[in-house]
Structure 1
Amino acid sequence: MCAAKFISIPVKEAHTMSAAIAETPEGVMSGKQFFGHPIGLMTLFFTELWERFSYYGMRALLVLYMTASHENGGLGYSNAQAALVYGTYTSAVYLLAMPGGWAADRLLGLKYAVFIGGIIIAAGHFSMAFESEVAFYTGLVLIVLGTGLLKPNISAIVGRLYRPEDQRRDAGFSIFYMGINIGAFLAPLACGFLAQSDTWKHTIAGWGFQPSSSWHWGFAAAGIGMTLGLVQYIVGFKYLEGVGERPVREDGNTTPVWEGLASYLAVAFALFAVVAGLQQLHGLVVGRLGNAAGYAYIALVFAGIIALVWFSFLRTLAEDELKRMLAIVYFFLASIVFWALFEQAGSSLNLYADRLTDCRIFGFAFPSSYFQSLNPILIIFLAPVFAWLWVQWGDRQPSSPAKFSVGILLVGVGFVVAAVGVAFLNGGKLSPWWLVAVYLIHTVGELCLSPVGLSTMTKLAPERLSGLVMGIWFLGPTFGNYIGGLIAGHFDETRPESVGSLFYQVAATGIVVSVVAFALTPFIRRLMGNVR
């Protein structure tokens, strides 16, 4: 899942960590409580719930809408074309977390970056409510821009609610992660019903609308979700007083909001231009030299980004900070593999559900997009269990690198189940229980990696680079989603045997990488110092 996510207030370099914490109002740290956590977590919980409702509601429909025929209201794209657009879009969502974190740290402040980002996201979803390919792509661009501001910075604020030694931090992120998945669970049900249900199509036909326009009702529902999130954020703003405020410049003033937003947009569009150029080169490399060369090209681009970050920021770090940043790079690399496999949920596994799976359980027929609610509903039930488990184990719980290794292993095992299921097609449709099993295994893997990764970044990040570190963390899903889109482009439901072969290859990748990750765990723990 997301897809998703730190210290909030950029302070002068002379300030120490303890000084920054001391400036945080006591009401944030020890006043009202939300499930035993700071009350500000409630505001962030519900804001992220509605933002993820908007994102996952639209994401559940994206590939299905693009591959639907023109007669059925879609764009008529091929599987490969739709998967590439999907991978590019979902990777761009995370790519802009880096300039979004920078803009919040230096110019806008975390709280205000979240609010502005939410407004832009809502505008993007409402744009997709119109039946136009131009409106469709305009909406995607706006959602990418808004998410770049909102996603890393709301996670940063969560980390800022806790003192460094507070052992509730991992549990707090698990609760926050549960809020994400409540939104992600509700979204495919609501948006999928509006987009795919025959009942709804008959209803709007009675109102004089074309039944094929139902996709855009689903996209509009996503915009309503983000709007509700903004309203809730404004109401709960008072609970975040003193956290994520706008940074003060050397002249004692704050940067005007318009200037901060303009700076962010300039960097964002520059990145868009670079990424578009890199994509064209990647397509040229693949076209002439094959897929292997294409993946080598991606690795080269990644190495260039790491070199840029190194020469721009990391050379000035103290030795212990540098070791922690190297550990962050390791988690970043591990997350690329995880997300490339896990994010098949919205592309190849979505097509697997729509084209190869019997969408009926106990005689009840449902839209294929409903399968997108499996992962979040499982997280809703399992996240409290994991939160309780980490607190109960305390210092005896597995280290963060060990949890990462388990997460990658499980996402690989899930694809073994999906591949085995293909063998039972026999010219018909698969039982939906195969996908239920896949999503259960993937969900346990996700809970071992994603919320733990968010929490680990807050503990490893140097104070003055907190926004940048979160941007680096979200670069993992950036590369992972793009690679995932390339993988999904090989999905061909007309040749089920090729689908099984594809999923076996995906499974092997996850299992082999997890073995390497387990072997590296002791070394990474040493780099992390006293951070678990």
Structure 2
Amino acid sequence: MSGTAASAPGAIPEFKQTMGHPRPLWMLFMTEFWERFAFYGIRWALTLYIVQAFYAGSGEGEAPASRVYGAYLALVYAAAIIGGYIADRVIGYQRSILLGAVVMSAGLFMIAYPDQTVFHVGLATVIAGNGLFKPNISAMVGQLYAPTDQRRDSGFTLFYMGINAGAFIAPILTGWFSDKVFGTDAMPAYKVVFIASGIGMLLSLVWFWFGRRQLGTIGRPLAGAENKSRVLWVLLFVLASVPVYYFLLAIDAATLQWILSAMFLVLCGMILVEGFREGPVARDRAIAMLIIFVFNVLFWCFFEQAGSSFNFLADKIVNRDFGGWIFPVGWFQSVNSLAIITVAPVLAWLWMRMGKANPSIPRKFGLGLIFNGLAFLLLMFALSSLVSAAGLIPFWTLFMVYVIQSVGELCLSPIGLSMTTKLAPVKLVGFAMGGWFLSTGIGNNLSGIFASHVSGETGMTVASAHAGYTQGFWILLGGGVILFLIAPLIQKLMHGVK
């Protein structure tokens, strides 16, 4: 874990404990809470806004909106590679997080301006800032615990609750502003969503600015790299990257997929080279980590329908009418977070309670894929057997899809963050965390491509949704079964990491 004085074995400070965990965990929890408020505040509205503002509400805008959404999410996570490297080698984790928060805030306010060019520049700016923020705050959570600390998975699961607490509140508040306060159900005021998200990002910045003293030496720059002029050079580099992200948002999604895949292969090569340098154990652990990264791509390809095809499903095919009161589309995004907030403490307790019987990391990932697949199985059933005369499926079906997916997410995502800090070569923890997010980003870009096929050329129909989600079920089920079968091999490569 280069980049901090805590990198050396035994150098982790003796933190005061709160609720059985290092006190700085809770400061990072709240910093991430407000950043996720900002991120999820805009997530539900992006595709709907693009169709409304730039395609006059036509169903023909659904496919391109899904592709832009997928590309945006992909680049948000791909930028984490650069941000992780900058934190590891240039300015440290704390400064990276502060600078990323400033840049993200600017981008969020930009996308509220009703112009397509400014909108895309704003998205590119958010991408550049998030790359500095997202991987590094997660890496710092891992640095609060010794590698052998049994509380590590539990700490990451609690941190994941912070992510989802922000994600739960954001769609409810911004959806209420958009549909009920500043707009109507028929004509939502999406720019208010983006302004509220920008304010949330500023709160994240302020929270970390005042709370970072709790971290002590954790996240400080490398010895000899304390010069603040490095921050200025990084800022100039980040601003110069905005036109690059703007260009990547504009190109064809398939071309972007090739670029992201090439980046992933380069990253794998760099991690493997470092693993070989550190010895056979580090090499094997790096290989195990990279195999799991591949299955992570598969999970997020289908999970991230939430911000694209599931939005259009909710808007057009789900019965949201409760006696004249219409359930806002954006509020479905909070179901996932509510389920995670409810179930996360149970799983955090369960992982600790099971002790040596705790499922291996590969098997937890396999469970994540299978639960994701079960959610698509429910949609297959609803779209084939529960469609009303009005062409709508019951409200509860999409609600439960989010709940089932959430269980799968808890089996995979927080465990993946913890796994990366355990298996990555010691000198490339931040970079490897960027690799975790790049694999997520590749899945997100594929999610936009998949969602565009579900909508077709003229917009989503019951038939197109059923065909697409059936395909998703079988792919996820197959991936989960394969991962279960090869889990013993992966576990052997992990050399005792659990």
TM-score normalised over the length of structure 1: 0.86
The one-letter amino acid paired with 1:258 is: L
| Counterpart position of 1:464 | 427
CA 1:247/1:75 → structure 2, altered by over 3 Å: closer, same or farther?
A: farther
Provide Cα deviations, 1:197-220, integer angstroms capped at 9, x if missing partner. Answer: 3x43279xxxxxxx9571111110
| Counterpart position of 1:240 | 215
| Counterpart position of 2:96 | 113
CA shift at 1:17, angstroms? 3.5
Instruction: In structure 2, list runs of 5 or more residues that go unmatched.
Output: none
Distance 1:343 1:213 in 2: 23
CA shift at 1:433, angstroms? 0.2
| Counterpart position of 1:438 | 401
CA 1:353/1:223 → structure 2, altered by over 3 Å: closer, same or farther?
A: same
CA 1:57/1:522 → structure 2, altered by over 3 Å: closer, same or farther?
A: same
| Counterpart position of 2:49 | 65
| Equivalent position to 1:9, from 3, 15, 31 | 3
Distance 1:300 1:220 in 2: 33
The one-letter amino acid paired with 2:436 is: W
Counterpart check, 1:388 vs 2:349: yes
Counterpart check, 1:52 vs 2:24: no
CA shift at 1:280, angstroms? 4.5
| Counterpart position of 1:155 | 138
CA shift at 1:272, angstroms? 3.8
Provide Cα deviations, 1:260-315, integer angstroms capped at 9, x if missing partner. Answer: 3334555x4696489579x55935xxxxxxxxxx98x5796367435653686455
Task: State whether residues 288 and 493 of structure 2, in contact with CA within 8 Å, keep that contact through their aligned partners in structure 1.
Answer: yes
| Counterpart position of 1:531 | 497
Instruction: Decide which moves more: 365-374 or 94-103.
Output: 365-374
Counterpart check, 1:282 vs 2:269: no
Provide Cα deviations, 1:151-177, integer angstroms capped at 9, x if missing partner. Answer: 000001100011112111111111100
| Counterpart position of 1:522 | 488
Query: Within 5 Å, which residues of 2 pair with 1:358-377?
Result: 358-361=319-322, 364-377=325-338
SS of structure 2 residue aligned to 1:176:
helix
Distance 1:304 1:71 in 2: 36
Task: State whether residues 175 and 387 of structure 1, in contact with CA within 8 Å, keep that contact through their aligned partners in structure 2.
Answer: yes
CA 1:302/1:109 → structure 2, altered by over 3 Å: closer, same or farther?
A: closer
Counterpart check, 1:496 vs 2:462: yes
SS of structure 2 residue aligned to 1:470:
helix
The one-letter amino acid paired with 1:262 is: L
| Counterpart position of 1:291 | none
Distance 1:55 1:303 in 2: 24
| Counterpart position of 1:259 | 233
Paired residues, what number? 493
The one-letter amino acid paired with 2:412 is: L
| Counterpart position of 1:230 | 205
Distance 2:271 2:403 in 1: 38
CA shift at 1:257, angstroms? 1.3
The one-letter amino acid paired with 2:310 is: L
The one-letter amino acid paired with 2:35 is: E
Task: State whether residues 8 and 245 of structure 1, in contact with CA within 8 Å, keep that contact through their aligned partners in structure 2.
Answer: no
CA shift at 1:502, angstroms? 0.6
Query: Within 5 Å, which residues of 2 pair with 1:14-413?
Result: 17-18=8-9, 21-22=10-11, 24-26=12-14, 28=15, 31=16, 33-68=17-52, 78-197=61-180, 199-201=181-183, 214-249=189-224, 256-263=230-237, 268=241, 272=245, 275=248, 279-280=251-252, 282=254, 301=262, 304-305=265-266, 308-309=269-270, 313-361=274-322, 364-413=325-374
Distance 1:299 1:516 in 2: 24
Distance 2:356 2:421 in 1: 18
The one-letter amino acid paired with 1:345 is: A
SS of structure 1 residue aligned to 2:145:
coil
Distance 2:336 2:314 in 1: 14
Provide Cα deviations, 1:301-337, integer angstroms capped at 9, x if missing partner. Answer: 3674356536864553411111010011011001000
CA shift at 1:427, angstroms? 4.0
Task: State whether residues 123 and 223 of structure 1, in contact with CA within 8 Å, keep that contact through their aligned partners in structure 2.
Answer: yes
% same residue: 37
SS of structure 2 residue aligned to 1:236:
helix
| Counterpart position of 1:453 | 416
Distance 1:465 1:494 in 2: 43
Distance 1:53 1:273 in 2: 24
Task: State whether residues 288 and 490 of structure 2, in contact with CA within 8 Å, keep that contact through their aligned partners in structure 1.
Answer: yes
SS of structure 1 residue aligned to 2:286:
helix
CA 1:106/1:480 → structure 2, altered by over 3 Å: closer, same or farther?
A: same
Provide Cα deviations, 1:182-208, integer angstroms capped at 9, x if missing partner. Answer: 1000011111122223x43279xxxxx
CA 1:85/1:274 → structure 2, altered by over 3 Å: closer, same or farther?
A: closer
TM-score normalised over the length of structure 2: 0.92
Provide Cα deviations, 1:123-164, integer angstroms capped at 9, x if missing partner. Answer: 111112222212211211111011100000000110001111
Task: State whether residues 69 and 75 of structure 1, in contact with CA within 8 Å, keep that contact through their aligned partners in structure 2.
Answer: no
| Equivalent position to 2:378, from 411, 417, 429 | 417
The one-letter amino acid paired with 1:425 is: V
Instruction: In structure 1, list runs of 5 or more residues that go unmatched.
Output: 1-6, 204-210, 284-293
Distance 2:161 2:265 in 1: 35
Task: State whether residues 419 and 500 of structure 1, in contact with CA within 8 Å, keep that contact through their aligned partners in structure 2.
Answer: yes
CA shift at 1:42, angstroms? 1.1
**Could you say what the CA RMSD is over the residues aligned between the two structures, in angstroms?**
2.7
Task: State whether residues 8 and 156 of structure 1, in contact with CA within 8 Å, keep that contact through their aligned partners in structure 2.
Answer: no
The one-letter amino acid paired with 1:247 is: L
Task: State whether residues 375 and 401 of structure 2, in contact with CA within 8 Å, keep that contact through their aligned partners in structure 1.
Answer: yes
CA shift at 1:405, angstroms? 0.5
The one-letter amino acid paired with 2:3 is: I
